[in-house]
Amino acid sequence: MPPSPRVSRLRGHALEPEWARQDAVLLTWPHPRSDWADQLEAIETTYLHLTRAICAHEPVIILCYDAEHRGHVAGQLAAADIPPGVRLVEIPTNDTWIRDYGPLSLASGGQALLAKFTFNGWGGKYEADLDDAAAGRLARQDLFRAPLREIDFVLEGGSIDTDGAGTLITSRQCLLHPGRHPDADKGLIEQRLKHELGMKRVVWFSHTRLAGDDTDGHIDMLVRFCGPRSLALATCEDPGDTNYAELAALRAEVEAVFPPDTYRHVHLPLPAAICDEAGRPLPASYANFLIINDAVIVPQYGDPADATARRRLKQVFPSRSILGVDARPLITQSGSIHCATLQLGRGVLKTNPDE
């Protein structure tokens, strides 16, 4: 296979908003060497539902640990009668949260570029050597038309979001964490984000602590752009909920920067508290939705608020189908639909083998 292409940052390239047209969505299938080992049946069912939902709108590329695992995944897809449009590649990984270690899509004038940042297991909490190498190995599969730039800077895809007009949002708790940037200087980090992602402005939120979250406040559980002038945010209306005060403070932060009189705000209520077997809270959030071509896939938690979240997201995505996928198995490992997926922008993939 050809070596992974390396390029310097191309002038004018910027991180694409997630509602831009896509070539495919990446998934990493759960495997016995990951934290899913003792609940593979339940989590594979979720991945089958998720794959089916995405395949109805665009191709899916699935990372499989090795040849044996690839055969297993192929059998699972066939047994579930998943429609064509899935490509399986053999790339070993530590875990399934490809949002945080996969390549990010940038574009300029129709020219695509992929950016691979350093992934260190959410600030050194977990082993991450295989995950960190996955994007480079994926580029060597000869799938990409777009070049891949490897960037020596710790950044997770779930920690940022953009409005597609030069604004990036993120969390102080995450990007200033000493496990990610031990000599953290907010100004230098902001400068680097602007340079590497083609941004004009970086907005830092302070109130991003969601009970049960182990990512140090990833923004994709809390605040998401739905268009250049609209956004969705996780909210809590129950004063007795552990998250009430923090999310109220976050809402005030968001409204100060993106005023409701100039931005459309959609409030996504939290479901009733979900806890693990030890009674610890899990970070269930509807803000962790996935935007794909012509549809939005919304996490579902078996709660009356499921329907509310779908209905409210339809307000900002009126032309897209709103699809629900049960995320309760995913949330047992503190992630959800957006965390488990990563879109590849238009122009990233080769359209034929001879390109």
In a domain, 182, yes or no: yes
Rounded Cα gap, residues 52 and 179, in angstroms:
37
Amino acid at residue number 297:
I
pLDDT at 100 over 80: yes
**What is the sign, positive or negative, of the torsion defined by CA atoms of 116, 96, 324, 230?**
negative
> Model's pTM, two decimal places?
0.95
pLDDT at 244 over 50: yes
Q: CATH number for the domain including 320?
A: 3.75.10.10
Please write the tens of the pLDDT for every residue from 171-230: 999 999 999 999 889 999 999 999 999 999 999 999 999 999 999 999 999 999 999 999
In a domain, 327, yes or no: yes
pLDDT of residue 290: 99
pLDDT of residue 12: 82
Please write the tens of the pLDDT for every residue from 108-162: 988 999 999 999 999 999 999 999 999 999 999 999 999 999 999 999 999 999 9
- Sort strands 60-64 and 86-90 into parallel, antiparallel or unpaired: parallel
pLDDT of residue 354: 55
Tokens of residue 346, six digits: 């238009």
pLDDT at 35 over 80: yes
Residue whose C-alpha is closest to residue 119's, from 139, 98, 137, 89: 98
In a domain, 4, yes or no: no
pLDDT of residue 351: 82
pLDDT at 6 over 50: no
Please write the tens of the pLDDT for every residue from 308-333: 999 999 999 999 999 999 999 999 99
Rounded Cα gap, residues 51 and 274, in angstroms:
25
In a domain, 156, yes or no: yes
* Residue 110 burial class via C-beta count within 10 angstroms: exposed 0-12, middle 13-18, buried 19 and up: exposed
- Sort strands 104-108 and 14-15 into parallel, antiparallel or unpaired: antiparallel
CB contact at 8 A, 105 and 343: yes
Phi, psi values for residue 189, rounded to 5°: -65, -45
Number of domains in the chain: 1
In a domain, 352, yes or no: no
In a domain, 1, yes or no: no
pLDDT of residue 83: 83
Q: For tokens 């794909």, what's the residue? A: 292
pLDDT of residue 184: 81
Q: How confident is the model at residue 3 (pLDDT cuts 50, 70, 90)?
A: very low
Domain encompassing residue 187: 14-345
- HSE at residue 338, side-chain half, CA atoms within 13 A, is 24
In a domain, 195, yes or no: yes
In a domain, 350, yes or no: no
Rounded Cα gap, residues 300 and 307, in angstroms:
9
